[in-house]
Structure 1
Amino acid sequence: MFIRKNLSDKFNPAVSHVNNTYNSVDASGAAIVIIHNNEVVAENYWGNHSKEKDARPVREDTQFHVASVRKSYIGFAVAFAMHNGYITSIDDEVTTYLPTLDSALLNGTTIRHLLTHTHGLREADGEICREFAAGQSWAYRGINISLLTRIVKETTGKTVSEILTEYVFEPLGFTETGWYAQQNDKLAEVIRDTDNPIWKTHASTAGDEMNMYVSARELAKWGYLHLKQGFINGEQVVNSEIVRFATSLQSPQTIDVDLPQNGFLWFVKDLPAQKTEIGEQVPKGSYQILGYTGVAVLVIPKHDVVAVRMFNSFGSPDGFDYLSDIRAFGDTVMECLP
């Protein structure tokens, strides 16, 4: 995928915002890439891959651990399965596709609920339990991701990573996006106080674990693929219906209007929900996804914008309001527009 570069100082406030966040969290490196009107208008890199004295500088090919941003790729795989008829409807119950699960516990829980964090399930001591009735509230838990990746594999016969590689990464020439079983010199270290192995690499590269790393420029291209509804460089690389499924509002109408709103795991801007992670000035129809490392991709179709920020921090320091910060990122991008 080729996108012309035409850097503009109009987006310096957004660059400064990312630089300020970089200096406020425990990170050794950061990056920003913004695409506007089919051109890369901002691209900056700071710091190094780790805090080691001889650490590699952050460069264009540096790949950051994207944490929950990986969920947008999983959402794509579910949309792919639905578009191709492997999944009949997201309103099908989960046990339709995973019949070995406890049908009494999962009664009424649909794929829609998994995609929009309204499933009400959580995992405790290796067991699935219920936190609230499906479709009645919203909670950010990991169990829905493991169930969705299982449904993709059971229905399509392919893993999430196989679907993405075959239908997106290879056609678009992505070489800086993937799930990694081994460390290499392009992967930035996640800066953290505790040695948590799930934030490194994992033996599984099927797309079902938290070992996904992406460069800032390819994460921006991932956002651009969605912005352009799969039509890239004069070719419909991905069916537009897949993108429409993934990025349009799918949250059930039964939840409170102030709870976050989701598409296929993307956070979408629709009603002015109080608990949204998207900035107030960002218009309706936009969508974003944020990871625990501070990585985020924001797509603003109304203004033909994709904005990506990257950090290698593990969470946020005490007193840092990550929700306020990510909202301000989107609002600052909006302030840069004519």
Structure 2
Amino acid sequence: MSEQSLAAVVEETETQIALASLKSEGVYDDSRHIAAFEDGTVSIPITEPPQQTAVLEVVEQRGEQRLQTLADHLRKRGWNESEIDDAPGSWAVIGSVILVDLADVPRPGEVGKALLAMHGHADTVLAREGISGQHREPSVDVVAGVGDTETVHREHGTTYALDLAEVMFSPGNKAERAHMGEVVTDGERVLDMFAGIGYFTLPMARGGAQVTAVEHNPTSFQYLVENVVNNGVQAAVETYRADCRDVVARGVEKANSQFVFERVVMGYYDAYEYLDSGLTALESGGTVHMHAATPEAAIPDRPVDRLHTAAKRTDRQVEDYALREIKGYSEGVSHVVVDAVVA
């Protein structure tokens, strides 16, 4: 059997679990594509037989070799080069769901089917149409597959259950989620003011921090609680469904020493509007992480000036800071984070 063409066969329902295990073993071959078959099985390309992952069998790569690019798939469907030029250049696979921007794309249903052919473990393709409202609720449209928008996504050892039609998930923040799990120290007290489904709370708790997680959106909060349990960090996370400003105010009113934190995370693009509460909850010498969507021409001045202004307003002082650009937010606008030590 040629090791270059080996594949592990698993039940389709076990694809995500098997894929995560094969990656952990270091035997997943990401140079080839996963293939799905009519008998309800999936073949996952591997470099050598797995020793720790339960599979049905190890075989030579079954069936037709999967096409390597979306353009290849679309050509096979009869698309001309002009149409292919309008096809999406990127997309995100979140658990069993493919999330893609399809604005002005011809025949989006065919693009969806092509993406499913490329990602055999996925079963639904969603067209991303924007985020709106105080709770940053997504607008999506099912363009291919079974239409199941609820999924489980795994990255860097953290598990996120979510419904992509109900709550937002930013694939571009993957490195930042991992980063927050690495910067915390064991036992560190952290306030996550906009916890969502646990984007930063979960990796920080898994990294040893004691996290107070606040989320106002009831649907996101439901998934937050579920994800805390699924990741086994119940002892490290205290959850509140409330406005984060109210939670801080109640802590101050009760002179609760537990509401003075060594680190405050503000993972919301308009976080500057909540800086007074965030700095009130931060102990002297603590660190605040303020996210912002900022025009490139206003970097670094606008977010940094907003932090200094809030510090002065709350009788605090910014001792040191660093600004990091996370990703593009929109044309001419970047997602940035200001990491600041505040006295």
The bucket for the TM-score relative to the shorter chain is under 0.3
Please identify the structure whose Cα radius of gyration is greater. 2
Higher RCO by CA contacts (8 Å cutoff, separation 6 or greater)? 1
Structure that is richer in strand per residue: 2
Structure 1 length-normalised TM = 0.22
